[in-house]
Amino acid sequence: MAGVRIEGLAKAYGDHRVHTGLDLEVVPGQCFTLLGPSGCGKTVLMRLIAGFEAVDAGRILIGERVVADGASGVHVPPDERGIGMVFQDYAVWPHMTVFDNVAYPLRIGRVAAAELAERTRAAVEQVGLAGLEARLPSQLSGGQQQRVALARALVSRPELLLLDEPLNNLDANLREEMRFEIKALQERLGITVLYVTHDQEIALAIADRMAVMDASGRPRQSGTPAELFDRPADDFVFRFLGIANFLEVRRVDGSLRLADGRTPWAGPAPDRPGDRLAVGFRPGDVVASRGGEGLPGVVRRASFLGAQVDYLVEVAGTTIRAAVDSGRAFREGRVLAEGEDCRLAFLGVQWFDAGVLDAGAA
Amino acid sequence: MSAAAPRFGTAQVLFGLAVGILVIFVAVPVLLIFFNAFWVNGAFNVADVLKVLRQKDTYEALLNSLVLASGVTVTGTIVGTFFAWLVTRTDLPFKGAMKVLFLVPFMLPSFIGALAWKMLLSPRSGYINRFFQEVLGFDGPVFDIYTYGGIIGVETMYLFPFVFIQVCGALERMDPTLEESARISGADLFTITRRITIPLVLPSILSGALLIMLYSMAHFGTVAVLGIEAGIYNIPTLIYEKIHQSAGSFDSIRTGTVLATVLVVTAAFILWLQNRVLSRGRYQIIAGKSFRPTELKLRGLRYPLLAFCLAYIAFTIVLPTVTIFLVGGLKTYGLPLAAENFTWGNYRHILFEWQLTRDAIWNSITLGLAAALITMFAGVIISYVIVKMKVRGKGILEFLGMLPFSVPGSVIALGVILAWSGKFGVNLYNTVWIILVAYIARYMAFSLKANSAALEQVHDSLVEAARASGATMWQALRDVVVPLVRPGMLAAFFLIFLPALRELTVSVLLYGPTSRTIGVAIYTLNEDGETVYSAALAGIALVIIVTGEVVIKRFFKTASGS
Amino acid sequence: MGYVTLSQVTKRFGGVTAVDRLDVEVDQGECLAMLGPSGCGKTTTLRMVAGFEDIDEGEIRVGDRVLSSKRGNYYLPPEKRNFGMVFQAFAVWPHLTVLENVAFPLRIRRLPAAEIEQRTREALTHTNLLGVAHSRPDDLSGGGKQRVALARALAIRPDVMLLDEPLSSLDPHFREEMRFEIKDLQRRFGFSILYVTHDQSEAMALSDRILVMRAGVVQQVGAPTEVYRNPANRFVFAFVGLSSFLRVRLGEGGPAVDGADLPAGLCPPLPAELSGAPQAVLATRPSEVDFVAEGGLRGVVRRRSYLGEMVDYQVEVGGQDVRVQKTRHEPGPAPGEACGLLLRAARWYAADESD
């Protein structure tokens, strides 16, 4: 089991600088997810770690071993890095059966026949494909092919497993199922996993720790999923992790008012000074009720989605999204209709400088 | 993969090899043609070129090529589009079988067809003309195959599948909801065909039409068999005439190179046009969720149209084929086709006794095998460098790789004569080797196409997955790339071997006393008035070709089915 | 009285019955979503209404106009039905501009030029396409193409719109946006919608009523809240939302779960048709299960996943799994901890072979 340490990494393609001085650490035995928009260089980083690309500067360590060093020119080829990798397009070999695909790393490693058969069967079983060993990939569904890729990456007991958006091409249900499976496997085997994705739900669900990168490849924040979600370092992280509502709050003569200058802000107090602030919250942070205390608003749209009712509420000229648990709303008779006046209370908010309001519009 | 493997040497070697093969086999012959056409007595010379072009026989040949190619393109496109529509968009009975039948002309050599039509429709001795005169009492011959119309008609029969296959593909892959949305908008089937379907498949129609044009422009056989009698020459037949009659004099070679230059430029222009049509006009009309497209109910016309299709096939495929075999069995050409006039002797003579024809069959088979093998391996190397490797100077290679597509057979033959007749220390003239060299150049395009297509399917991540599994670069090549490319290599082999068996355009310019190919033997026997032997050999060639095609279709079907 | 009426509509392909005696009515201005897994017959039904498939039994009418009738041996071709239709793969014509696409149905109807111009403009305005009227569809995003398809369908001012999974080819965030745009257009123009989808949240957000289909047979028709909260059977329960099914033994001492306590009064009363059965399943929704420290259905938390706004728990109850979802503001037990579960809106269903 090995961690990964990246120090001062730089990589450019011609004039296009993908990474400049990136530092990152993955703790051994943990699942680390790297979340970022497409084009942020997260796949390049993965390929640098795997050894498919050479670093321009900086070092990459897998465990204690330096596998890439721009200064000394060390570049350990991918086949000697002891990693397992799963690609977005599965990359299972179409001319080999499930068994042969999974057994390949062992064959290359000259594992004795009996042990090879045993370990391959175990790996195939581990991903729930027992009985399908003789099938060709073309006879498997997308989810099953991805499982073959996973078994193949795990069979040689790598120190480090790299997953490059492996669930992207699967449909929603399968994606949900697979992310739990990957997490369960990681915990059972105790291996180190580095997972890159642009899907915040997957990233949050499987990570022990995670980092959010912006479009220019700069890590904005790293920490546990709860830390990032509850205490985002900036509005980029806040927006990237889910649906984000913002309201402008002004200090007028010592009291807090919304953008219209009249409506008083009725939520938690700001944690920072300034005459113009932005308050951010998620749809689930809002409790919308008929009457009572709280910020007045008008329901512009109510959509019943099953487990939740999704409201679009107009508050002092701004529309925000609020989500409530439908079961409870029905039980408590709190289902609001379109056009109805309501009051909003807040379970938790984030404060930002007012500048983020303009960033969102851009 | 860039810096991952220590393959500084390997990349350069492969790149050099790829460039070398293309330069020696394709670029040098073509350059020599340009050089000979424009470089006279050590100086660049355009005036002489224009003088050659102003000669009556040259500009007539140019004009004829244009007229014939245009005619064939128009008729072939109409025929191909109509049949394609019929088998994909109507409820014609036995559509699947009809589609296969319409592709049969693709495997039959058109010059053999021309030979058959000559036997049927030549004004003096054609069987059909004789039938009209002797049985129906007409005064003179009713049909004359030695005309522009005759040549266009015969070429159309063999070239329309270019359009047919493209349009069928486009119509089958087209998302049916594109037409359904027009129907729900209120349009009837006729309006949909006119306003939606045809515009959407127009790029495919045009692309097929340009292929017909390209092929017809550079086509030797049919024009040679049917045109020379009436003095109709096109560029390839005139090149042949010049080279052959004047025994390789300087003037005739120059005229040949000027004509060849015109041919290359035209071919390149047609290909450029086709590329443009395909890249600009190809719409995204393919979609996921698929229903059967709405079929036009032919109702009362169903069986009449089926009868029409069957009659077309009987007339264009069955009739000429049967004619070839019957005439090949005649004791003497011109005898009525009656039982007492037939003999197996001609076939026996050709297969077992006559050195000339036995040599020809042997030459064609060995040439085909050798060319196919060499070109297959060369093609896979070149394709690998083009598709998969990141090396400097790849642009040159991509350009060189395009070259074989735009160089017609007669141009290659002429270029090969210039390059390999001792001028550069190697003289292969009058041997089979010069034909082999020409075949390699001629069929490189097929190999590049098949191998590139196979390699494009091998995504980089498949190789990378092997590397991540612990395989070295060479292990990954051996275990992943080679097995996946093998079907493409096999396809390339057969795409070369089968056409090489029936090749005429190239070998007719290059053959010597002992290096006749089947095509040359059929053609020269016919020229020499040995019509019966010519037909018998043609019949044997048809048997070999069709057997080969069928065996290979079977083979690929079982290979892909497992 | 329904506006679009399907009565006893049946369709067979070879020996397979794709749609089996379907009865449904759609009112004027109503949106009916047909929901089901792929191959359930929902798309075939829509295509029969559109006229792309003939019917084998029954009758389809709009108002007092018969479109297809087996008994009357009548079939009106699609081009005469005057519907707007939007397809999953957009089906906008790439060789025509956006404007020409939208004007096409009007030109086919040979309307006067001024009216074509005016109605095309109106359709483009309502779909926010005026700015790209002269672009080619291939220059637009997926969402843009689907707007063109919508505008083209709107141009003829249909009173019925047929939508065949119109959002499933779009990016997720476009999907939500377009969902509301379709709803707004419907409000403005008042047409009826038949909407085919396999996405339950889409069906719930958009439709007035949902028809759930399975293997050609209608399972339930009702308002979204009705279908979600009172599913007619186990299939509907599982299809319209997240669910867990708990095997329960029905003995003399009342319902019991192997290896776990099931206190009396925790589950709803057993329906009459299940009394006497040896076992049954208790269906629950993850969002309708609450944690309690004492009492309740006892289990152990096996997995706790942080999904952002939601926290997802897998609780092992006597060897079976129950899924629970709570918002991040609600406290919940840690992995490995024992807990009690309160089942809020559980329902009884008969056990089948798979149990």
Can you tell me the mean pLDDT for C330-353?
A: 90
* Residue of chain C with shortest Cα separation from A184: C303
Is the pLDDT assigned to residue B410 strictly greater than 70? yes
d(CA C132, CA C148): 10
Is the pLDDT assigned to residue C72 strictly greater than 80? yes
Q: Per-residue b/e over C237-248, b at no fewer than 16 CB within 10 Å?
A: bebbbbbbbbeb
C224 touches chain A (CB under 8 A): yes
Provide the shortest C-alpha distance from residue B464 to chain A (in Å). Answer: 8
Tens-digit pLDDT profile for residues B461-513 = 898 999 998 898 889 888 998 898 888 888 888 888 988 988 998 998 888 88
Can you tell me the mean pLDDT for C5-29?
A: 94
Mutate to test the interface with B, among A11, A13, A52 (most CBs of B within 10 A): A52
d(CA B236, CA B257): 11
Judge contact between B379 and B451, C-beta under 8 A. yes
CB-based contacts of B476, cutoff 8 Å, min separation 6: B463, B466, B467
d(CA B321, CA C160): 59
Q: Do C327 and A303 touch (CB under 8 A)?
A: no
C37 touches chain A (CB under 8 A): no
d(CA B552, CA B559): 10
Q: What are phi and psi of B397, to 5 degrees?
A: -65, -40
d(CA B334, CA C343): 99
Instruction: State which fold the A243-361 domain adopts.
Output: OB fold (Dihydrolipoamide Acetyltransferase, E2P) (2.40.50)
Provide the shortest C-alpha distance from residue B186 to chain C (in Å). Answer: 4
Instruction: State which fold the A4-234 domain adopts.
Output: Rossmann fold (3.40.50)
Nearest-CB residue to B177 (from C51, C77, C87): C87
* Residue of chain B with shortest Cα separation from A96: B480
Tens-digit pLDDT profile for residues A329-349 = 888 888 999 999 999 999 999
CB-based contacts of B155, cutoff 8 Å, min separation 6: B68, B72, B76, B110, B216, B219, B222
Judge contact between C175 and C207, C-beta under 8 A. no
Judge contact between A168 and A136, C-beta under 8 A. no
CB-based contacts of A230, cutoff 8 Å, min separation 6: A348, C328
B4 touches chain A (CB under 8 A): yes
If contacts are CB pairs under 8 Å, which of residues 102-131 in chain A contact chain B? 104-105, 108-109
Q: What is the count of residue pairs from A and C with beta carbons less than 8 Å apart?
A: 79
Provide the shortest C-alpha distance from residue A153 to chain B (in Å). Answer: 7
Q: Which CATH architecture has domain C242-350?
A: Beta Barrel (2.40)
Q: What percent of chain B has pLDDT over 70?
A: 94
d(CA B48, CA B205): 39
Lookup result for tokens 């035995």 = A29
What does pTM read for this prediction? 0.82
Can you tell me the mean pLDDT for C277-287?
A: 92
* Residue of chain B with shortest Cα separation from C160: B184
Rounded alpha-carbon distances, angstroms, from residue B277 to B174, B205, B206, C145: 18, 10, 7, 23
pLDDT at res. B562:
37
- Which chain A residues have a beta carbon less than 8 Å from that of B483? 95
Q: What are phi and psi of B118, to 5 degrees?
A: -60, -45
Tens-digit pLDDT profile for residues B372-407 = 999 999 999 899 888 887 777 777 887 887 787 788
A30 touches chain C (CB under 8 A): no
Q: Do B471 and A50 touch (CB under 8 A)?
A: no
Residues forming a β-bridge with C75: C68
How deeply is A257 buried, as exposed, middle or buried, from its count of CB atoms within 10 A (0-12, 13-18, 19+)?
middle
| Domains B1-45+353-562 and B46-284+300-325 fall in the same CATH topology | yes
pLDDT at res. B561:
43
If contacts are CB pairs under 8 Å, which of residues 446-505 in chain B contact chain A? 459, 461-462, 464-472, 475, 479-480, 483-484
pLDDT at res. B2:
39
Side-chain half-sphere exposure of A232, counting CA atoms within 13 A: 23
Is the pLDDT assigned to residue B426 strictly greater than 80? no
Q: If you count them, how many residues does chain A have?
A: 362
CA-based nearest residue to B30, from B397, B419, B371, B399: B419
Dihedral sign from CA coordinates of B558, B559, B560, B561: positive
Judge contact between C299 and C315, C-beta under 8 A. yes
Domain extents in chain B? 1-45+353-562, 46-284+300-325
CA-based nearest residue to B468, from A108, A25, A35: A108
Is the pLDDT assigned to residue B131 strictly greater than 90? no
Tens-digit pLDDT profile for residues B103-114 = 888 888 889 999
A198 touches chain C (CB under 8 A): no
Kind and range of the H or E run holding B558? helix B531-561
Is the pLDDT assigned to residue B288 strictly greater than 80? no
Q: Which amino acid is at B543?
A: V
Q: Do B187 and C149 touch (CB under 8 A)?
A: no
| Mean pLDDT of all residues belonging to chain C | 91
Rounded alpha-carbon distances, angstroms, from residue B409 to A209, B500, B510, B530: 66, 12, 11, 26
Residues of C within an 8 Å Cβ radius of B: 47, 50-52, 77-85, 87-89, 91-95, 104-105, 108-109, 138, 149, 152, 156, 162, 165
pLDDT at res. A211:
95
Q: Do A303 and C205 touch (CB under 8 A)?
A: yes
Q: If you count them, how many residues does chain C have?
A: 355
pLDDT at res. B259:
87
- Window from B128-137, B262-271, B443-452 with minimum mean pLDDT: B128-137
Provide CATH code, domain B46-284+300-325: 1.10.3720.10
CB-based contacts of B522, cutoff 8 Å, min separation 6: B111, B112, B115, B504, B534, B537, B538, B541
Q: Which amino acid is at A212?
A: V
A169: helix, strand or coil: coil
Dihedral sign from CA coordinates of B217, B219, B222, B227: positive
Domain extents in chain C? 4-235, 242-350
Respond yes or no on whether ipTM tops 0.95: no
Rounded alpha-carbon distances, angstroms, from residue B85 to A324, B176, B194, B198: 57, 14, 12, 10
Lookup result for tokens 């025994």 = B247
Is the pLDDT assigned to residue C86 strictly greater than 60? yes
A73: helix, strand or coil: coil
B7 band by pLDDT with thresholds 50, 70 and 90? very low
C50 band by pLDDT with thresholds 50, 70 and 90? very high
d(CA C77, CA B416): 63
A170 touches chain C (CB under 8 A): no
Two tokens at B271?
């290909």
Chains that touch B (3 or more CB pairs under 8 A): A, C
Two tokens at B406?
């735009």
Mean pLDDT of successive 10-residue segments in chain A (362 residues)?
Answer: 89 86 92 91 92 93 93 91 90 93 94 95 92 92 91 91 87 82 89 93 93 91 94 94 93 87 88 91 92 90 92 93 91 90 93 82 43
Tens-digit pLDDT profile for residues C203-243 = 999 999 999 999 999 999 999 999 999 999 999 999 999 99
Provide CATH code, domain B1-45+353-562: 1.10.3720.10
Long-range interactions of B471-477: CB distance < 8 A, separation 24+ = B471/A79, B471/A104, B471/A108, B472/A77, B472/A79, B472/B5, B473/B1, B473/B4, B473/B5, B473/B7, B475/A79, B475/A108
pLDDT at res. C32:
97
Is the pLDDT assigned to residue C354 strictly greater than 70? no
Nearest-CB residue to B469 (from A51, A52, A152): A152
Side-chain half-sphere exposure of B184, counting CA atoms within 13 A: 34
Provide the shortest C-alpha distance from residue A290 to chain C (in Å). Answer: 20
Q: If you count them, how many residues does chain B have?
A: 562
Two tokens at A20?
């400049």
Q: Do C205 and A310 touch (CB under 8 A)?
A: yes
The DSSP bridge pattern shows strands C65-69 and C57-62 to be antiparallel
Map B487-509 to HEC letters: HHHHHHHHHHHHHHHCCCCCHHH
- Which chain A residues have a beta carbon less than 8 Å from that of C314? 180
Q: Do C286 and A303 touch (CB under 8 A)?
A: no
pLDDT at res. B4:
40
Is the pLDDT assigned to residue C244 strictly greater than 60? yes
Instruction: State which fold the C4-235 domain adopts.
Output: Rossmann fold (3.40.50)
